[in-house]
A and B are shown apart, each in its own frame.
Chain A
Amino acid sequence: MKSQIHVNKLKTINKMSKTIKTIQLLAIVALFIGFTSCSSDDDNSAPLLEVASETVSNLHAPQTGGQGQPVSGQFAKFNFETGKTTTSDTDWDIAFRGTSIIVNGGTTLGTTDEPNRTGESAVYIANGTMASVTNVNTSLFTQDSDTGYAIPTGSGNGWYNYAGPPTHLITPIPGKVFVFKTRNGLYAKLEILSYYENAPANPDAFTDATPYYTFNYVYQPNTGVTTF
């Protein structure tokens, strides 16, 4: 499972986040100038870490059961800090199994093999694009609970549409951006691109393998910063 993950540093960061980064940079510079000119005693404020857009391809998240049978199987856990999957019981932010996505926060729904929540992760679904969702609205976060996941399951409810017969395709709903709080209280935004292996432009539910998540995300590594 570990080997199936490839994190690609995206060289082409979209214009919007570039502009934002420029603004941020200017802000930092201004702050820096401000601080230096004040010539304060405690001049040890670390420069902000860079915010980058990343793509994760083919995160494999199989499940057994389903379609009326009890669901089981290990969740594929993902750590925003490292940008990698992990088998750690604690150092994960979100996890995938079949079409279910859980966060490391709240309580377990109690399905077989479901990990206990150890962190402060939470999520809300924003309407928009990766470029347009630039601020975190901290009042919207919800966590998993014993009655349901914070990202609702089922077609049209959470992240995907199920087309039904004849194509049976599972496709991500356009305009849904997931804003996460990580287990450590940092923020990330994420857009799912595909549920099929190698994210084909025109997937075929009968020939393309699932569940292989491909998604874009932006991680804000700086504490207390609620913008991307």
Chain B
Amino acid sequence: MILNKKYFSIYFSLFFVSHSFSQETKVVATDSSKTENLNEVIITATRTIRQLSSLPLPAQIISKKDIERSNSIRLNDILNEQTGLITIPDFGGGEGIQLQGFDSQYTLILIDGVPLVGRSAGTLDISRITVGNIKQIEVVKGASSSLYGSEALGGVINIITETPKYGFNGNTNFRIGAFYTSDLSTTINYKKKKLGVTTFLNRYSSDGYDLNKADDLKTVDPFSNYTFNTKVVYNFSEATQLFASGKYYTQNQDYIASSTLKGESTINEWNSHLKLSHKYSEKWSSYFEFYATKYKAKDYLDDENNSRFSNSYYNQLLIRPEIRATYNPDDKSAFIGGLGFNHETLDRTDFTIQPEFNSPYLYLQYDGNLAEKLNVIIGARFDSHNKYKSQFSPKAAIRYKLNDNLNIKSSVGYGFKAPDFRQLYFDFTNATVGYTVLGYNAVSTAIPELEAQGQIANIIIPVSEFQQELNPENSISINIGFDYKFSSVLKLDLNLFRNNIRDLIDTRIVANKTNGQNVFSYYNVNKVYTQGLEFNTIWKPINQLKISGGYQLLFAKDATAENAFENGDVFARENPSSPSFQLKKEDYFGLFNRSRHMANLKLFYTIPKWDMDTNIRGTYRSKYGLLDSNGNNYLDTYDDFVDGYTIIDFAINKTFYKNYLLSFGVDNLFNFTDSQNISNIAGRIIYGKLNIQF
């Protein structure tokens, strides 16, 4: 990692060079746009339009401008550059987001306020989402189940897409880069009087890449995908509005499992979203929302004789009607309440049954300024469920304005994640190795069956222990922070977080099989916590220059493991053939795949005279462990770690004749790769982009 340190210092020297350069040009500084952040509004935090700067919750907005200037194409590109967010590749090839130390399955991903589904192995692959039609991305940290129900333990990421704008116009955007990766987006927009329509089309394809040339397999196989999205807005009157959105996503990818097993995988996803809103008076509004989404994935493998080796499919359906109302008794307070119903089904290979989840829910929230300087949010939600324990999720947040420059904010919330279909109904036996994984509810029927077939050598956990319902994983999250404005050009905010997670669902061995393998199932076990601090700062020394930096310190630990270390029950060896020694409490590193430190530094510079802008962005991730390499089942400081690394991206954009924007950039400037451990970093990507407005 010496090399990476070197790159980091090069990056910083570049940073200071450009900084001193910018100070020289300070003469032309004017005062415009310094207040832009004050006007930013966020809807994810409260489900009402809310000024970001006065919110008592840790939240963040990623603007269209920053996405465009960074020339991002998929959601993972841009989220990876945000403080405390990192995308983690999973074994299925998807990339999920880690937030405040939570795995990707504990962060809810929404598009225009409604959730995406299709977490076949828990991860929601965010590289599925194009950023071509995004207006802004909103990130709310801390448990938010009080508004959104299941999955919102770590937080919520809401992707707000473009709505029709006045006139008839459009744009097209084409980017091509390394690995024959091309991305084409076109938007056509129409709005006159009562009717607005916007249509978006995206095609994204790549030849994939291969980090390890020694084997027959590619790291990422070639793929192509399409996203179609049409939105219609119709204003019946000033007070009544209809919104309809239809989205279709399809992806086709080669699926090469070995030199003899080849096939294809496809994903098809539909989302339809309908919303009718009506304003009764200055105080009362109501919304009727209907959302349906279907996610279908399937793949197959053929052997060398072209006969079918394996076939699998995953079809998930979610239907959600919801009504909600807002009431604003005065300009100081707002109430929102909602009532809805989730209907979810899943049909997939290796399932005992075709399960159906039904879950009505109800929520209510108050957001008000109790005093001039004091803002309070109190909310709660109740989710009833046909397959697991009902959940009550409260949340409270408070913000106090100490003076014009300093605000203190704090929030406490409860979050939960319902056991997913897989954890309840899986019935899977690995064809080549022979182990079996059973969902919690599948154990009581599948074990006797295996026993009758003579496959069970001995039972370790009696079937009777699976009579009780599996508990939803849940957490209590606490965030305390402040934001401070040094001046109109320099701001910082700091947030301390702590998440106490209970009833985490893990796998354990239920029985030994006669073939020497084991039967695994799920159970509630661990007490885990994540805690740390997050720090963000924005500095605009002159109008043309924006420098932002962020840092996250993270401790993500299993309390049971911590006890084991404290009690002296954990041992290690210097190398596999040397005597054991006892580990101390401070030798426990924490959960796998969590870095203690993550940081980013971004510099955006505009040269209005030349219609140009340029930026350089760096992200750093400190060392982390992927597995226990010294045989004690825990990640300790004597294990093998993945070295920390820094990635530097560079982009330059120039506008010609007002409507043409030409871009050039290099992602991962110093060609960092780690073929052994990091499958989602492809190496240096040089690209060009053309954007035409019409």
State the A residues within 8 Å of B (CB). Answer: 68, 127-130, 132, 154, 156, 161, 169, 171-177, 191, 193-194, 196, 199-203, 214, 216
The binding surface of chain A is classed by DSSP as: loop
Partner of B516, one of A127, A154, A171, A177: A154
User: Residue B445 at the A interface, CB < 8 A?
Assistant: no
In the complex the two chains form, is A193's CB within 8 Å of B579's CB?
A: yes
Partner of B580, one of A154, A174, A199, A203: A174
Contacts of A154 in B (CB 8 A): 512, 516
In the complex the two chains form, is A174's CB within 8 Å of B577's CB?
A: no
Contacts of B571 in A (CB 8 A): 127-129, 174-176
In the complex the two chains form, is B577's CB within 8 Å of A130's CB?
A: no
Complex CA gap A106/B491 in Å reads 75
B355 to chain A, nearest CB (A): 32
Known: A176-B580, A177-B580, A193-B579. 9 other contacts (CB 8 A): A129-B579, A129-B581, A130-B579, A171-B631, A174-B571, A175-B582, A194-B577, A201-B577, A203-B576
Partner of B630, one of A132, A174, A193, A194: A174
Q: Given A169-B576, A191-B579, A193-B577: A174 and B569 within 8 A (CB)?
A: no
Complex CA gap A76/B582 in Å reads 31
In the complex the two chains form, is B577's CB within 8 Å of A173's CB?
A: no
Contacts of B633 in A (CB 8 A): 156
User: Residue B632 at the A interface, CB < 8 A?
Assistant: yes
The binding surface of chain B is classed by DSSP as: loop
User: Residue B578 at the A interface, CB < 8 A?
Assistant: yes
Contacts of A169 in B (CB 8 A): 576
Q: List 12 A-B contacts (CB under 8 A).
A: A128-B582, A129-B582, A130-B580, A154-B516, A161-B631, A171-B631, A172-B573, A172-B576, A174-B573, A175-B582, A201-B575, A203-B576
User: Residue B510 at the A interface, CB < 8 A?
Assistant: no
Partner of B577, one of A127, A177, A199: A199
Digit string of B573-610 for contact with A (CB within 8 Å is 1, else 0)? 10111111110000000000000000000000000000
Partner of B632, one of A173, A191, A216: A173
Contacts of B512 in A (CB 8 A): 154
B575 to chain A, nearest CB (A): 4
A153 to chain B, nearest CB (A): 9
User: Residue B572 at the A interface, CB < 8 A?
Assistant: yes
- What is the chain A residue whose CB lies nearest that of B629? A163
Q: Given A171-B631, A174-B631, A175-B632: A127 and B569 within 8 A (CB)?
A: yes
Contacts of A177 in B (CB 8 A): 580
Complex CA gap A176/B630 in Å reads 13
The A/B interface has a contact count, at CB < 8 Å, of 62
B644 to chain A, nearest CB (A): 23
- What is the chain B residue whose CB lies nearest that of A67? B516
In the complex the two chains form, is B575's CB within 8 Å of A191's CB?
A: no
A69 to chain B, nearest CB (A): 12
Complex CA gap A154/B578 in Å reads 21
In the complex the two chains form, is A174's CB within 8 Å of B575's CB?
A: no
Contacts of A173 in B (CB 8 A): 631-632
Contacts of A128 in B (CB 8 A): 571, 582
Complex CA gap A181/B162 in Å reads 76
State the B residues within 8 Å of A (CB). Answer: 512, 515-516, 569-573, 575-582, 630-633
Contacts of B630 in A (CB 8 A): 174
Complex CA gap A194/B573 in Å reads 11
Contacts of B576 in A (CB 8 A): 169, 171-172, 194, 201-203
Contacts of A130 in B (CB 8 A): 579-580
- What is the chain B residue whose CB lies nearest that of A167? B629
In the complex the two chains form, is B577's CB within 8 Å of A175's CB?
A: no
B191 to chain A, nearest CB (A): 57
- What is the chain A residue whose CB lies nearest that of B628? A161
Partner of A214, one of B572, B577, B632: B577
Complex CA gap A68/B256 in Å reads 29
Q: Given A127-B571, A129-B571: A175 and B578 within 8 A (CB)?
A: no
B372 to chain A, nearest CB (A): 61
Contacts of A194 in B (CB 8 A): 576-577
- What is the chain A residue whose CB lies nearest that of B512? A154
Complex CA gap A176/B633 in Å reads 13
Contacts of B632 in A (CB 8 A): 173-175
Complex CA gap A171/B581 in Å reads 15
Contacts of B516 in A (CB 8 A): 154
Contacts of A176 in B (CB 8 A): 571, 580
5 closest cross-chain pairs (CB), A and B: A175-B571, A174-B571, A194-B577, A199-B577, A174-B580
Complex CA gap A216/B579 in Å reads 8
Complex CA gap A216/B581 in Å reads 14
Complex CA gap A214/B573 in Å reads 15
Contacts of A129 in B (CB 8 A): 571, 579-582
- What is the chain B residue whose CB lies nearest that of A194? B577
- What is the chain A residue whose CB lies nearest that of B517? A154
B520 to chain A, nearest CB (A): 13
- What is the chain B residue whose CB lies nearest that of A199? B577
In the complex the two chains form, is A200's CB within 8 Å of B582's CB?
A: no
B630 to chain A, nearest CB (A): 6
In the complex the two chains form, is B579's CB within 8 Å of A203's CB?
A: no
- What is the chain A residue whose CB lies nearest that of B580? A174
Complex CA gap A199/B580 in Å reads 14
Complex CA gap A191/B577 in Å reads 11
B243 to chain A, nearest CB (A): 52
- What is the chain B residue whose CB lies nearest that of A203? B576
Complex CA gap A193/B581 in Å reads 12
Centre residue among B575, B576, B578, B630 by max chain A CB count within 10 A: B576
- What is the chain B residue whose CB lies nearest that of A170? B576
A145 to chain B, nearest CB (A): 13
Contacts of B577 in A (CB 8 A): 193-194, 196, 199-201, 203, 214
